[in-house]
Structure 1
Amino acid sequence: ASAALCALAGKTGFPVTSTLMGLGAYPASGRAWLGMLGMHGTYEANKAMYGCDLMIAVGARFDDRVTGRVDAFSPGSRKIHIDIDPSSINKNVHVDLPIVADAGSALEALVAAWGGRAAPNLAPWWAEIEAWRAKDCLAYRPSDTIIKPQYALERLREALKGRDDVFITTEVGQHQMWAAQFLPFEQPNRWMTSGGLGTMGYGLPAAIGTQMAHPGALVIDVAGEASILMNIQEMSTAVQYRLPVKIFILNNQWMGMVRQWQELLHGERYSESYTESLPDFVKLAEAYGGVGLRAETPAELDGVITEMLKTDRVTIVDVCVDQKENCFPMIPSGKAHNEMILAADAAMFDKGLV
């Protein structure tokens, strides 16, 4: 399906975006790629989804994290929905043309139907998209003293550049969204995360299973300090079976996504989202028989990542990040794609919305 999608995008010149679960189906380096869409998707992806006149949805289920307010979801578009499950058609969003089929077979048929015809003139549409892209919606304020979580992932991305043996799993929370935003995927099935259920504690068991299936690969679980504790006992499994999974914790001492919603949507009424009694993750890794590393400043980060990649044992990296950093862009609950909050707008946002 991925190859057929790339062929269709190449023939038509259509822009491509993806849900959280579909990252890698189209390569992040592809010229048609707009990034992830949805609640924490890119500005250009969400604006393109809102403003398009034709949408081809392949295997998507139109969940609430993608659609935002359903009655304002891509209001001017005709919608083609390809899904192998007929019960998914018109379940959440009414579509104009349902195609009940395997995604790969349907895309191959579309490529064949397009044939050798020339791509349409989409220059004005792409100019509009590039203007949205110019907003640089993932920009953040750097620091020389505090590790920004986005910076930590940028340095991890740089260290992984050129490798094609990398699998990424995640837990659930802010770190999951930042990983989706800042880690590029060039192939399908290299990104394992919990979408619909949003299950904290998913990442470490998923990393263990992935490492068992791909013993020679580099498997990294991008985690939060709260989520990782949901299944930390599986460190024992990784050590017992000599699985060198890497656990890259963005540690802000908060249930970060809960805190972000409490700050932005609930009038800064913080409740049960801060943790001041966390374990020492370096000592915890060592107690299980693994390797523990920590980075507390930006200057320490590259060396710690290098050390993590060198070791052939299960490793926990405790990255102490900015405790109050929020994940943007963000579509607030009940809002539409054209009502995103960007980092630059956050100070003006009504924090008593709910």
Structure 2
Amino acid sequence: MNGAQHILDTFHRHNIQTVFGYPGGCIMPLYDALVDDVRVEHVLCRHEQGCALAADGYARASGRMGVCIATSGPGATNLITGVANAHRDSIPMLVITGQVPSGLIGTDAFQETDVLGMTLGIVKHSYLVESADELPAILEEATELAQTGRPGPVWIDIPKDVLLTDTTAAPMSHSAQQAHSCPDLTAAVAMLHAARKPLLYSGGGISLAHAEDSFRAFSECSALPAVVTLKGIGNPGKHNAYNLGMLGMHGSRAANRAVDECDVLLVIGARLDDRATGKLDGFAPNARTIHIDADAAEFNKLRHADVALRGDLNAILGGLSEALREAPLAIDGWRKQCHTWRTTGGFQAADNEEPLAPIIGPAFIRQLSRITPDDTVIACDVGQHQMWVAQHYEFDHPRHHLTSGGLGTMGFGLPAAIGAQFANRQSTVINVTGDGSFMMNAQELATVRRYNLPVKLIIMDNQCLGMVRQQQELFYNNRESQINLDDNPDFVAMARAFDIPALKIERTDQVRRGIETILAFNGPMLLHVAIAREENVWPVVKPGGSNRDMIDETRRSAADKKEKVA
């Protein structure tokens, strides 16, 4: 087999059936080999960034590794944002690019770029293959690395001559990485029993470790009040009585208050991101910390861990559950207090009863949550709509909520929805986006149409960059700068140009019918939702501020009135 055929052989042995890519000169030998291969489905996206983000969405929705392919030069550089997005959120991905022939590397050849140098900071590992004989072993090692330990993207850059060269080298067998044995839990259990106000804090590491069931079993037996990060939404399920919701910059007042008053913070599969913690010296100021993670690099990076437990989350959660079943926590008073906060400090969004009134963003998302099936996958873009979904949509599983957490990539949602639909052929997949984010990768409407994917698209259109406008309003004296999008195209006509049916709604009385129409349609469909330009996401914490100093609409209005009186 030549190098290209070895790549396909690796796909077959690892049951990789779907890949996302875009051809070009230096990767052409692989595309030539694909002609004769009926076991690998290649999805042709319309931009290499779309390929990477679709592979990312496929991995998030399925729990399996995503694969993307591109050629050298601009093909490789166009992948970079999508690969960085996967790296920041620890998504398993195999990235394969062609490179100019070995003898031309370093000569500024046509479409040559230093892929290895450019990508060092956004991958778990990377390779520049120097000979066909080493390619089979590299492919095997890369496939394992991407999926074991803390997952992440692994990039293989392959010169064109290597893809064409025959080799009899066989892949080296790599034993699967052994899960860490369960560490000693004695100190953690003792700290939980000594606590009067312990709080459970979980993140995206739960689903990355496939530990959803273990986490829910622990949550049930411990009955700990709990908060989640943006990536942890869905961890507890939608009916968990102790879940206080998302914490952080746009978190619930209940969640942030519980963090502020807890005396032990049990962190599982989370990296204490700045958008979650706010100002660090004001974050959980009275709490000792138990930190559980698969990656030791996260311990003590931002917050000192009084107890650090590295290992397999399933094993650790199972051990903690067993310990707390034998000796339950005596924290009834704390549970009642958190329940009160949840009742009075959760996310509020009154449904507008006036039928002709303009559509309110949070109320629309709550209606969407009520109408859609429990297994619906929501792929968000980045902006106000992203936070409204995080606050007001009730997710029953973390793999149903696809969102760009660490990088905040506008344009993520549509390609991610495409990847999720390939991963879950029978599921309802919805891309909830804003007018700004949608235009970042709108060309992928052609991919939706090409494969007749039943993806539903909802554009929440306020004709501006809403989150930037909100920040400028609240923290920059309302000095608006470069946020107007009032020259948006007609999104309904745009969708129809791609042969995708579409409709527009503008009033409250149109919401239910609009949602039900796109869900009932057998194929892709777009819903254009007009919302008010001035609508904000509440509550909010000032960037760099402490989570205890949340601003909500009531406090903002009072401050405005006081300023006017003065």
- TM-score normalised to structure 2 length: 0.60
Matched, 1:69 2:279: yes
Matched, 1:154 2:366: yes
Structure 2 letter corresponding to 1:153 = I
Q: Is the 8 A contact 1:137 1:329 kept in 2?
A: no
Rounded to whole Å, the distance in 2 between the matches of 1:200 and 1:319 is: 18
Structure 2 letter corresponding to 1:117 = A
Structure 1 letter corresponding to 2:558 = M
Q: Is the 8 A contact 1:290 1:314 kept in 2?
A: yes
Higher Rg:
2
**Post-superposition shift, 1:141?**
6.0
**Post-superposition shift, 1:4?**
1.8
Q: Is the 8 A contact 1:328 1:341 kept in 2?
A: yes
Rounded to whole Å, the distance in 1 between the matches of 2:333 and 2:547 is: 21
**Post-superposition shift, 1:140?**
4.2
Rounded to whole Å, the distance in 2 between the matches of 1:298 and 1:53 is: 44
Q: Deviations over 1:120-157 (max 9, x none)?
A: 1x232133223323434532465431100011112211
Q: Is the 8 A contact 2:231 2:398 kept in 1?
A: no
Rounded to whole Å, the distance in 1 between the matches of 2:550 and 2:314 is: 32
Q: Is the 8 A contact 2:376 2:429 kept in 1?
A: yes
* Residue 215 (structure 2) aligns with: 5
**Map 1:179-328 → 2, pairs under 5 A:** 179-328=389-538
**Post-superposition shift, 1:254?**
1.3
Structure 1 letter corresponding to 2:370 = E
Q: Is the 8 A contact 2:375 2:396 kept in 1?
A: no
Q: Which runs of 5+ in 2 are unaligned?
A: 1-210
* 1:128 pairs with one of 337, 340, 355: 337
RMSD: 1.7
Structure 2 letter corresponding to 1:98 = A
**Post-superposition shift, 1:349?**
4.4
Rounded to whole Å, the distance in 1 between the matches of 2:385 and 2:412 is: 13
- TM-score normalised to structure 1 length: 0.95
Rounded to whole Å, the distance in 2 between the matches of 1:348 and 1:270 is: 22
Matched, 1:109 2:319: yes
Rounded to whole Å, the distance in 2 between the matches of 1:16 and 1:128 is: 13
Q: Is the 8 A contact 2:245 2:346 kept in 1?
A: no
Rounded to whole Å, the distance in 1 between the matches of 2:504 and 2:270 is: 39
* Residue 388 (structure 2) aligns with: 178
Q: Which runs of 5+ in 1 are unaligned?
A: none
Structure 1 letter corresponding to 2:441 = N
Which shows bigger deviation, 315-324 or 6-15? Answer: 6-15
Q: Deviations over 1:299-343 (max 9, x none)?
A: 111111111011122211110012111101111112212111122
Rounded to whole Å, the distance in 2 between the matches of 1:127 and 1:270 is: 44
Q: Is the 8 A contact 2:411 2:438 kept in 1?
A: yes
**Post-superposition shift, 1:10?**
1.8
Closer/same/farther in 2, CA of residues 86 and 228 from structure 1, 3 Å limit: same
Q: Is the 8 A contact 2:222 2:325 kept in 1?
A: no
* 1:138 pairs with one of 340, 347, 355: 347
For 2:326, what is the secondary structure of its paired residue?
coil
Comparing both structures, which one devotes a greater share of its residues to helix?
Answer: 2
For 1:261, what is the secondary structure of its paired residue?
helix
Question: Higher relative contact order at CA 8 Å, sep ≥6: structure 1 or structure 2?
Answer: 1
Closer/same/farther in 2, CA of residues 92 and 136 from structure 1, 3 Å limit: closer
